[in-house]
Amino acid sequence: MAADMAIAAPTPARRAVRKPRPTPLEYGRKRWLQAVVAANFIFLYFPIVSLIAFSFNDSKRNVTWQGFTLKYYDQAFHNSGLQEAFLRSIGIAVTSTVVSTVLGAMLGLAIYRYRFPLKGPFEGLIYLPIVIPEICMAMAMRSYFGQFGIPLGFMTITISHIAFSFPFVAVVVRSRMAGFDESLEEASRDLGASPRQTFFNVTLPYMVPGIVAGALLAFTLSLDDYVITAFTSGPGSTTFPVKIYSMVRQSVTPEVNAASTVLIVLTLSVTVIAMWIQSRSGNKSMAS
Amino acid sequence: MRDWRKERIAFAIFGLPGTFWIFAFFTFPLVLIWIYSFSTSDELGNVVWEPFWSNLNLDAYARSLEWINLGIIWKSVWSGALATAICLVMGFPLAMAIAFAPARWKNPLLLLVVLPFWTNLLIRTYAWIAVLRTKGFVNIVLEWIYDQITAVLSAIGLGDSFPAFQPLELLYNQPAVIVGLVYVNLPFLVLPLYATLEKFDKSYLEASLDLGATQWRTFFSVLVPLALPGIVSGAVLTFILAIGTYLVPDVLGGTSSLMIGTLIQRQFMEARNPPFGAALSFLLMYATFALLWIRASFAARSKGVEF
């Protein structure tokens, strides 16, 4: 591409020859459509990019640019409430991810491999936590813990996070298994391996990319969740998003923007890794 | 696929833990609030369990038909419909541009569409506060334009004492909620639309143009009818997500922009009426399932059409 440009650049006439007027179907080269696309991307990116940019702004009011600073990151980092909430969020996300990955991977494999009565409705039930409105699930979980007198805190948040995360893992693992060649298992059994050896040496290694992608997805789902967490957490168990919410309710300061930027960078990088693993393993499903 | 009876132990080991979790910590809570929706609560907001059978009633459902609650439900529906319509108007050209773009541009453009949707929902929503508030970006730009115009007007002698710029009230009202709903849900509409347009056989458009139809006519008589499955799929998904949103009206809405999500939450908490909140939850879920079912049956029916 670069070499191509180097040749083309000094001769504008040749460039003009190479770029004739758009043919009727080259919508991508129509000026008005390019303008609409640009407007869409400005709409999609302006709020987030300005939020990130103003976390580096050397001014308390988020209005005009006063120069670059990292002091709000320093402030956010030394805010003991934020720090505590961040560590709690990581703890919940790790616990939820471990349990969700184990439950989801096993269930995904079971759904892929076995025929059983009421399989259709059961699969519908697995999709239910993914499709129902968040507030309905949040209120159901809150009422449930309240009804049985379980105090709201780390445990209730984690239980709820597992409940909405592991179906995603099951879906991802199952879509990974769709490309599995079962004759590999038969070959392993023919060569004298036990069912157990076959599982650990043939099936499980094939599942790994799906399991890892599912685990990363579960991690970001847990770390990012606000609605369900807010209603299953007690006074002493604030998570990072819940803390950000309560800070936003007071006022949108550069410090909140700094904390938000940290969360954006963290979840975005985990998601990108998950998507990369999934696409590399040849399974291009947009499970999220 | 194997029969579960041939490998009962392996089936149980793999299937039971997840099944247990979903029944104990998802289905059971839902069944509990389903029972709530037929019960009554005392003034502290606790559901009355004794006597169980004679306490069951439909009062909570009847209450959702009261005018004030119908008004909130109606507001959710039209806000969701308006947000979906705006998403469609904005998202269709975007999906079309990506689908008709050169191959090497497709993936980067798609990534640009989904990237915001991988960032935290709460942060994406509150980012709009800085844009829309009284001293937000929109008002700053409007004030600058106003100042330029008044400066020009006074320079050419059309008056010299203009009133100071009055910032617009853009935040904490229903328009702000709709902007938020469009923002949060746009990718859910663009992706299914793109998937449909990507598979679209472009020779239909060529045929239409060759036969003398204008671009507009081709768009409305060929492209839109053939892309209808994608349009319906995306629009229904966006609408479902929009009417059930809790966070957007909570962060960007004002006291009068109550939507069904907020109403549900208030019944369980401040209003101390869990039966009514539970009934509303189930009405919202039934509506969601009905729309998903319509979407699925529409997709199944249009599968026969090859294009």
Task: Determine how β-strand B2-3 pairs with β-strand A114-115.
Answer: parallel
Task: Inform me whether the pLDDT recorded for B198 exceeds 90.
Answer: no
Q: Which residue of A has its CA nearest to B134?
A: A63
Tell me the H-state helices in A148-283: 154-177, 183-190, 195-198, 204-224, 227-232, 240-250, 254-280
Q: Which residue of B has its CA nearest to A227?
A: B247
Cβ of B264 and A136 within 8 Å?
yes
User: What pLDDT, on a 0 to 100 scale, did the predictor assign at position A32?
Assistant: 82
Q: Walk along chain A (288 residues) and give the pLDDT tens digit of each residue.
A: 444 444 444 444 445 455 666 666 667 677 888 888 999 999 999 999 989 988 888 877 656 777 888 888 988 888 888 999 999 999 999 999 999 999 999 999 999 999 999 998 999 999 899 889 999 999 999 999 999 999 999 999 999 999 999 999 999 999 999 889 889 999 999 999 998 999 999 999 999 999 999 999 999 999 999 999 999 998 888 999 999 999 998 888 888 999 999 999 999 999 888 888 877 775 444 443
B chain contacts of residue A147, beta-carbon cutoff 8 Å: 32, 47
B chain contacts of residue A170, beta-carbon cutoff 8 Å: 18
Tokens at A167, concatenated: 């179906």
Superfamily of the domain at A73-280? MetI-like (1.10.3720.10)
A34, A131, A143: residue with CB nearest B274: A143
Q: How far apart are CA B298 and CA B188, in angstroms?
A: 18
CB within 8 Å of chain B, chain A residues 160-189? 160, 162-164, 166-167, 170
To test the contact with chain A by mutation, choose from B9, B14, B259 the residue with the greatest count of A C-beta atoms within 10 A, namely B14
* CATH class given for the domain over B66-133+170-302: mainly alpha
B1, B97, B245: residue with CB nearest A33: B97
Q: Which residue of B has its CA nearest to A107?
A: B15
Phi, psi at residue A191, to the nearest 5°?
A: -85, 10
- In sequence order, the β-bridge partners of residue A68 are A57
Question: CB-based contacts of B140: which residues, under 8 Å, 6+ apart?
Answer: A63
Asked if A37 is an interface residue toward chain B (Cβ–Cβ < 8 A), one would say yes
B chain contacts of residue A161, beta-carbon cutoff 8 Å: none
Of the candidates A266, A267, A233, A215, which has an alpha carbon nearest to the alpha carbon of residue A100?
Answer: A215
User: What pLDDT, on a 0 to 100 scale, did the predictor assign at position A83?
Assistant: 92
B122, B264, B292: residue with CB nearest A135: B264
Q: How far apart are CA A143 and CA A137, in angstroms?
A: 10
Q: How far apart are CA B25 and CA A161, in angstroms?
A: 10
Tokens at A278, concatenated: 């999934």
B chain contacts of residue A204, beta-carbon cutoff 8 Å: none
To test the contact with chain B by mutation, choose from A23, A44, A169 the residue with the greatest count of B C-beta atoms within 10 A, namely A44
Could you tell me if A232 and A160 are in contact, meaning their C-beta atoms sit under 8 angstroms apart? yes
User: Distance (Å) from the C-alpha of residue A190 to the closest C-alpha of chain B?
Assistant: 18
Mean pLDDT of chain B: 88
A chain contacts of residue B93, beta-carbon cutoff 8 Å: 33, 36-37, 40
Cβ of B124 and A226 within 8 Å?
no
Could you tell me if A69 and A56 are in contact, meaning their C-beta atoms sit under 8 angstroms apart? yes
Q: How far apart are CA B2 and CA A189, in angstroms?
A: 16
Could you tell me if B282 and B58 are in contact, meaning their C-beta atoms sit under 8 angstroms apart? no
Cβ of A135 and B281 within 8 Å?
yes
Q: How far apart are CA A162 and CA B17, in angstroms?
A: 12
Asked if A40 is an interface residue toward chain B (Cβ–Cβ < 8 A), one would say yes
B chain contacts of residue A248, beta-carbon cutoff 8 Å: 122, 126, 129, 251
Cβ of B4 and A116 within 8 Å?
yes
Q: What is the pTM of this model?
A: 0.87
Cβ of A139 and B33 within 8 Å?
yes
User: Distance (Å) from the C-alpha of residue B163 to the closest C-alpha of chain A?
Assistant: 23
Could you tell me if A214 and A283 are in contact, meaning their C-beta atoms sit under 8 angstroms apart? no
User: Distance (Å) from the C-alpha of residue A11 to the closest C-alpha of chain B?
Assistant: 24
**Buried residues in A25-63 as b, exposed as e (16+ CB within 10 A):** eebbbbeebeebbeebeebbeebbebbbebbbbeeeebb
- In sequence order, the β-bridge partners of residue B153 are none
Cβ of B120 and A226 within 8 Å?
yes
Strand residues in chain B grouped as ranges (E): 2-3
Residue type, A157: I
The predicted-structure confidence for B262-281, as pLDDT tens digits, reads as follows 999 999 998 889 999 999 99
User: What pLDDT, on a 0 to 100 scale, did the predictor assign at position B135?
Assistant: 82
Cis peptide bond prior to A167, omega within 30° of 0: no
Could you tell me if A176 and A279 are in contact, meaning their C-beta atoms sit under 8 angstroms apart? no
Cβ of B127 and A51 within 8 Å?
yes
Q: Which residue of A has its CA nearest to B101?
A: A28
Could you tell me if A234 and A153 are in contact, meaning their C-beta atoms sit under 8 angstroms apart? yes
Domain ranges of chain A: 22-72, 73-280
Tokens at A65, concatenated: 């640019």
Pairs of residues, one from chain A and one from chain B, whose beta carbons lie less than 8 Å apart: 234
The predicted-structure confidence for B9-47, as pLDDT tens digits, reads as follows 989 999 999 999 999 999 999 999 999 999 888 877 788
Q: How far apart are CA B56 and CA A192, in angstroms?
A: 62
The ipTM, to two decimals, is: 0.89
Average pLDDT over residues B191-213: 87
Tokens at B259, concatenated: 């939507």
Q: How far apart are CA A245 and CA A107, in angstroms?
A: 34
Question: CB-based contacts of B71: which residues, under 8 Å, 6+ apart?
Answer: none
Of the candidates A205, A221, A243, which has an alpha carbon nearest to the alpha carbon of residue A171?
Answer: A221
Q: Is the dihedral of CA A151, A152, A156, A160 positive or negative?
A: positive
Cβ of A106 and B14 within 8 Å?
yes
A chain contacts of residue B122, beta-carbon cutoff 8 Å: 226, 241, 244-245, 248
Asked if A216 is an interface residue toward chain B (Cβ–Cβ < 8 A), one would say no
Phi, psi at residue B200, to the nearest 5°?
A: -65, 130
Q: Which residue of B has its CA nearest to A133?
A: B244
Cβ of B93 and A33 within 8 Å?
yes
Question: CB-based contacts of A129: which residues, under 8 Å, 6+ apart?
Answer: A137, A163, A164, A167, B22, B26
Q: Which residue of A has its CA nearest to B261?
A: A135
Residue type, A184: L
The predicted-structure confidence for B73-111, as pLDDT tens digits, reads as follows 999 999 999 999 999 999 999 998 898 888 888 888 998
Q: How far apart are CA A232 and CA A144, in angstroms?
A: 10
Q: How far apart are CA A108 and CA A102, in angstroms?
A: 10
B chain contacts of residue A48, beta-carbon cutoff 8 Å: 116, 119, 123-124, 127
Q: Which residue has the tokens 């369990």?
A: B49
Cβ of B120 and A134 within 8 Å?
no
User: Distance (Å) from the C-alpha of residue A133 to the closest C-alpha of chain B?
Assistant: 5
Query: What is the crossing angle of helices B274-302 and B260-268, to 10°?
Result: 150
Average pLDDT over residues B129-153: 87
End-to-end CA gap in chain A: 33
User: What pLDDT, on a 0 to 100 scale, did the predictor assign at position A6?
Assistant: 44
